[in-house]
Amino acid sequence: MAERRRLLNLGYRMLGSVQDAEDVVQETYARWYAQPEEAQREIGTPLAWLTRVASRICLDHLASARVRRERYTGEWLPEPLRDGTVWTSAGRAGEDDPADRITLDESVGMGVLVVLDTVTPAERVAFVLHDVFGLPFTEIAGTMGRTPAACRQLAASARRRLAHRRSGGRPAHEHRQVVSAFRAACETGDLDALVALLDPAVESRSDGGGKVRAALRPVVGRDKVARLFVGLMRKEPGMELVEEDVNGLPGVTVRIAGTTVAVVAADVRDGLVTDLWLVINPDKLHAWTDADADADADGDGGGDGGGDESG
């Protein structure tokens, strides 16, 4: 069980979903404990066995996910991460247990995960295992049932697709300054200031999952995107925008009456916002909404406890 954190990190990078990563970990351990104790003792490196099994489960999941997402309403976006905390099957954000946290680094950036969702399942698995977790291609080949040379080509293909999404050492303070100015322009409804912060070819993608009204296709262009966000603020009086890290980078959460209703991740290049990802599907906001409910309960001195069951 000491390897749980590594497997959660692996599953999230493979699938872009905390709950799916949790399911993969549970299934991996179920297969481990289904073996006789004698068979377990014969496995010289349990971590290698667990990683190989989890990777195969992820590969199968990715193949079936493409079919499911064809029926998904609108854009599908990865589930955003809050402070590295994951939503576990126990129904609580694992804030106190290091085994329940996902490491925040470049490989979990929203832009990286969005691009990884466009490559083939085999490319994604080979890239994550090699470039993120440092496994040699000889070992990856055994996991994927391909030759080391084929796995090397798969990882290289994914790497080329990701080249323009990786930070390349872009200063974090610039990202934070631009996001802060973006939040302020949205809150004040300053359309001109907002337009000035956006790249001419900026794209905004929204994920409502068919449960919350959202744009079904990307909104492209600084004027259209600026009007979209200013319009959203005008429709909901009392909306509050809060700067919070999303997947390890400065982003914005949207709250109404103290409850998070949306999470906005952004990509910034050369001082301009190039991409915005707006996650409003409530099924993907548990890391925030559970924390909101706990904060309300604490503020009410315990209340009636109803908020604790909302996850």
Which percentage of the chain shows pLDDT scores above 70? Answer: 85
Using the CB atoms, write b or e for 66-96: b if 16+ within 10 Å: eeeeeeeebbbbbbbbbebbbbbeeebbbee
- Residue 237: CB atoms within 10 A of its CB come to 7
Q: What is the pLDDT of residue 239?
A: 86
- Per the CB < 8 A criterion, the answer to whether 292 and 260 are in contact is yes
Q: Please, are residues 114 and 266 in contact by the beta-carbon 8 Å criterion?
A: no
145: phi > 0 → left, psi -120 to 50 → alpha, else beta; which?
Answer: left
How far the first Cα of the chain sits from its last, in Å, is 25
In sequence order, the 6+-apart residues with CB closer than 8 A to the CB of 88 are 22, 94, 100
Pairing mode of beta strands 272-279, 198-207: parallel
The mean of the pLDDT values for the chain is: 87
Alpha carbon dihedral 175, 177, 183, 186, in 10-degree steps, equals -100
For residue 249, which of 115, 141, 106, 147 has the smallest C-alpha distance? 106
Q: Given a cut of 50, is residue 49 above it in pLDDT?
A: yes
286: helix, coil or strand? helix
pLDDT in tens, 235-260: 777 789 999 999 999 999 999 988 99
Express each pLDDT in 116-152 by its tens digit.
Answer: 999 999 999 999 999 999 999 999 999 999 999 999 9
* Under 8 Å between Cβ of 14 and 62: yes
> With bands split at pLDDT 50, 70 and 90, how would you rate the model's confidence at 306?
very low
CA 14, CA 108: separation in Å to the nearest integer? 10
Decide if pLDDT at 298 tops 80: no
Look at residue 294 and tell me whether its pLDDT is greater than 70. Answer: no
Give the pLDDT confidence of 68-89 residue by residue, as tens digits.
777 888 899 999 998 755 544 4
Task: Please state, in angstroms and rounded to a whole number, the distance separating the CA atoms of residues 297 and 293.
Answer: 6
- Report the C-alpha gap between 75 and 200 in whole angstroms: 22
Count Cβ atoms below 10 Å from residue 187 Cβ, excluding itself.
Answer: 14
Token digits for 264? 């906005």
> Largest Cα–Cα distance in the chain?
69
Confidence of residue 308 (pLDDT cuts 50, 70, 90): very low
**CA–CA gap between residue 261 and residue 253 (Å, rounded):** 8
SS3 state at 305: coil
Banded model confidence at residue 66, pLDDT cuts 50, 70, 90: confident
| Domains of the chain and CATH, by start | 4-162 (no CATH), 172-292 (3.10.450.50)
Length of the chain: 311
Higher-pLDDT residue of 226, 64: 226
Query: Are 250 and 209 in contact, with CB atoms under 8 Å apart?
Result: no
Number of Cβ within 10 Å of residue 306's Cβ equals 10
pLDDT tens profile 181-205: 999 999 999 999 999 999 999 999 9
Distance between CA atoms of 107 and 111, rounded to whole angstroms? Answer: 9
